[in-house]
């Protein structure tokens, strides 16, 4: 208890908020209250500065030139890869592939894994709470290869139905692709259990970590997942960069996704030899400044500590859940026992779209709609929700402002 208290004292919210210049913006004449962190997170000065410094002092192409700037850029780019590997506990640096984001990472895996391992009649197992980016790439691949997409249902509280999961794991299942933390419900899935059960049948597992890495400590070795995907921009880094982690034992035999420069060792018109890992999967000039920015973001949050962030956010989430649930006419969608930083809700008599407009005029940014999870909306029989999503820089005061605005909207419409 004392240790916890001490660690919470070290979490200096005022100095943290100063690191994020955008938190001082005014929106419609009001101080910005940014509660749309599941869509994208804000960037600390350190990230903005790292990218700025790269363009001012180091900009050049990587893995090519013998000149000093190219060497420096290559070194910074590869340094960022090491940071990512350490951050998620990957045993080997070459298991980290830079992509454009989570969507790109999943498309890479679906195309490459599909080509190598999927035959007609094989099954891919996903869940009913997946983001469209962990549905559509599998659907496309299944269609092409005449494979079958199977879906684990969710319970009324927004948790995964584990009984159904076990029943759906079959001899035909070739891959399980499951979201670590749901972006529309906030559910933290029992991924360790999922992985153990899949591995017991020799089935590899991809985790979509787009909503997990910024909220909880993630260690891919402890989880023993085979693949892990996430986006830089949801981790306080820039857009345009993401990561696919894969166990070397899987990645080394998978065919490349795209062809081009950097992914080759030798090219003749007769035959091309592919480069080693991870370059085999990184065709063309990558988003160098963005990768460096992602490295800076990882340095920044590692400085605070993921454990600290998790602890602070669980306090914030508990407060948000309590305050929002207490508003008359409000129903929270997603009440699983294990939840992270998302409060999705509907209000009897107020459409989410109108809620979003009213809150916006109060300076409050939330997301309204289906959150790229239309099957989740269908499951709960609603067209859309309003979603408050948190980051460690949010405060109880901001949530109070938000609750007041929600009450105001209800007054207007009901």
The binder of 361, among ligand PLP, other proteins, none, by C-beta within 5 to 8 A per type, is other proteins
- CB contact burial 196-226 (16+ within 10 A = b; e otherwise): ebbeeeebbbbbbbbbbbbbbbbebeebebb
Q: Rounded to the nearest whole angstrom, what is the least distance from the CB of residue 405 to other proteins in the complex?
A: 11
Q: Rounded to the nearest whole angstrom, what is the least distance from the CB of residue 406 to other proteins in the complex?
A: 15
Max CA pair span of the chain = 72
Task: Tell me which long-range contacts 379-384 makes (C-beta under 8 A, separation of at least 24).
Answer: 379/128, 379/153, 379/154, 380/333, 382/333, 382/346, 383/352, 384/346, 384/351, 384/352, 384/353
Residue 44 in tokens: 């600390």
Q: Confirm if 57 and 80 have CB atoms less than 8 A apart.
A: no
Contact stretch for other proteins (CB under 8 A) within 94-102, 265-273, 368-376, 388-396? 368-376
| Interface with other proteins (CB under 8 A), residue from 75, 221, 258, 357 | 357
| Interface with other proteins (CB under 8 A), residue from 17, 72, 199, 361 | 361
| Interface with other proteins (CB under 8 A), residue from 8, 69, 318, 412 | 412
The binder of 305, among other proteins, ligand PLP, none, by C-beta within 5 to 8 A per type, is none
Return the residues of window 56-115 that contact ligand PLP according to CB under 6 A. 101-103
d(CA 406, CA 366): 11
Q: Which is nearer to ligand PLP, 42 or 58 (CB)?
A: 42
Residue 58 in tokens: 């180091």
Q: Is 402 a catalytic residue?
A: no
| Interface with ligand PLP (CB under 6 A), residue from 210, 342, 350, 365 | 210
Contact stretch for ligand PLP (CB under 6 A) within 120-128, 165-173, 205-213, 341-349? 205-213
| Interface with ligand PLP (CB under 6 A), residue from 81, 131, 215, 387 | 131
d(CA 124, CA 136): 12
DSSP string, 184-237: TT-BB--HHHHHHHHHTTT--EEEE-TTTTTTS---HHHHT-SEEEEEGGGGTS
Contact stretch for other proteins (CB under 8 A) within 49-57, 124-132, 192-200, 362-370? 362-370
Q: Which is nearer to ligand PLP, 118 or 372 (CB)?
A: 372
Residue 295 interacting with other proteins (CB under 8 A):
no
DSSP class of 126: E
Phi/psi of residue 59, nearest 5 degrees: -45, 120
Which residue intervals of 33-89 are DSSP H helices?
45-53, 68-88
Q: Which is nearer to other proteins, 108 or 128 (CB)?
A: 128
Residue 370 interacting with other proteins (CB under 8 A):
yes
Residue 387 interacting with ligand PLP (CB under 6 A):
no
Contact stretch for ligand PLP (CB under 6 A) within 69-77, 168-176, 204-212, 260-268? 204-212
Q: Rounded to the nearest whole angstrom, what is the least distance from the CB of residue 230 to ligand PLP in the complex?
A: 8
Q: Which is nearer to ligand PLP, 113 or 228 (CB)?
A: 228
The binder of 261, among other proteins, ligand PLP, none, by C-beta within 5 to 8 A per type, is none
Residue 14 in tokens: 């005022």
d(CA 158, CA 379): 10
Residue 349 in tokens: 């008599």
Q: Which is nearer to ligand PLP, 229 or 350 (CB)?
A: 229
Of residues 142, 225, 372, 402, which has the active-site annotation? Answer: 372
| Interface with other proteins (CB under 8 A), residue from 354, 395, 404, 407 | 354
Residue 407 interacting with other proteins (CB under 8 A):
no
Q: Which is nearer to other proteins, 274 or 413 (CB)?
A: 413
Residue 183 interacting with ligand PLP (CB under 6 A):
yes
The conformational region for residue 381 under phi > 0 = left, psi -120 to 50 = alpha, else beta, is: left
d(CA 278, CA 257): 12
Q: Rounded to the nearest whole angstrom, what is the least distance from the CB of residue 28 to other proteins in the complex?
A: 8
DSSP class of 260: S
The burial of 67, by beta-carbon neighbours within 10 Å (0-12 exposed, 13-18 middle, 19 or more buried), is given as: exposed
Q: At what angle do helices 306-325 and 288-304 cross, to 10 degrees?
A: 80
Residue 368 interacting with other proteins (CB under 8 A):
yes
Report, as residue numbers or ranges, the catalytic residues: 372
Residues in the site for ligand PLP, rule: CB under 6 A? 38, 101-103, 131, 133-134, 179, 183, 208, 210-211, 231, 372
Residues in the site for other proteins, rule: CB under 8 A? 349-354, 357-358, 361, 368-370, 374, 377, 383-384, 412-413
């Amino acid at each position: 208890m004392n240790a916890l208290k001490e660690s919470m004292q070290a979490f200096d919210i005022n100095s943290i908020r100063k690191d994020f210049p955008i938190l001082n913006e005014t929106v419609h004449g009001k101080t910005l209250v940014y509660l749309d962190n599941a869509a994208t997170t804000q960037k600390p000065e350190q990230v903005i500065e790292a990218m700025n410094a790269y363009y001012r002092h180091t900009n050049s192409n990587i893995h090519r030139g013998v000149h000093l700037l190219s060497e420096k850029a290559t070194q910074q780019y590869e340094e960022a890869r090491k940071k990512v590997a350490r951050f998620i506990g990957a045993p080997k640096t070459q298991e980290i592939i830079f992509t454009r984001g989570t969507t790109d990472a999943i498309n890479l895996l679906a195309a490459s894994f599909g080509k190598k391992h999927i035959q007609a009649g094989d099954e891919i197992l996903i869940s009913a709470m997946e983001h469209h980016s962990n549905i559509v790439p599998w659907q496309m691949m299944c269609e092409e290869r005449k494979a079958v997409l199977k879906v684990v249902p969710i319970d009324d509280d927004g948790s995964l139905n584990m009984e159904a999961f076990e029943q759906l794991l079959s001899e035909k299942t070739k891959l399980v692709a499951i979201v670590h933390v749901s972006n529309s419900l906030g559910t933290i899935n029992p991924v360790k259990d999922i992985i153990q059960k899949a591995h017991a049948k020799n089935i590899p597992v991809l985790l979509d970590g787009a909503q997990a890495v910024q909220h909880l400590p993630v260690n891919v070795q402890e989880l023993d997942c085979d693949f892990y995907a996430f986006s830089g921009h949801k981790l306080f880094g820039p857009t345009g960069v993401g990561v696919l982690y894969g166990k070397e034992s899987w990645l080394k035999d998978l065919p490349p996704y795209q062809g081009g420069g950097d992914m080759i060792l030798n090219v003749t018109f007769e035959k091309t030899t592919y480069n080693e890992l991870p370059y085999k999967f990184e065709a063309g000039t990558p988003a160098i400044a963005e990768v460096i920015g992602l490295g800076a973001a990882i340095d920044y949050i590692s400085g605070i500590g993921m454990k600290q962030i998790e602890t602070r956010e669980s306090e914030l989430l508990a407060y948000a859940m309590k305050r929002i649930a207490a508003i008359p006419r409000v129903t929270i969608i997603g009440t699983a026992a294990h939840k992270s930083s998302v409060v999705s809700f509907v209000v009897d008599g107020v459409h989410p779209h109108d809620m979003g407009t009213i809150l916006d005029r109060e300076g409050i940014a939330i997301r309204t709609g289906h959150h790229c999870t239309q099957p989740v909306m269908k499951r709960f029989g609603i067209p859309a929700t309003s979603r408050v999503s948190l980051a460690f820089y949010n405060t109880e005061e901001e949530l109070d402002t938000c609750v007041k605005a929600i009450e105001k909207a209800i007054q207007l419409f009901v």
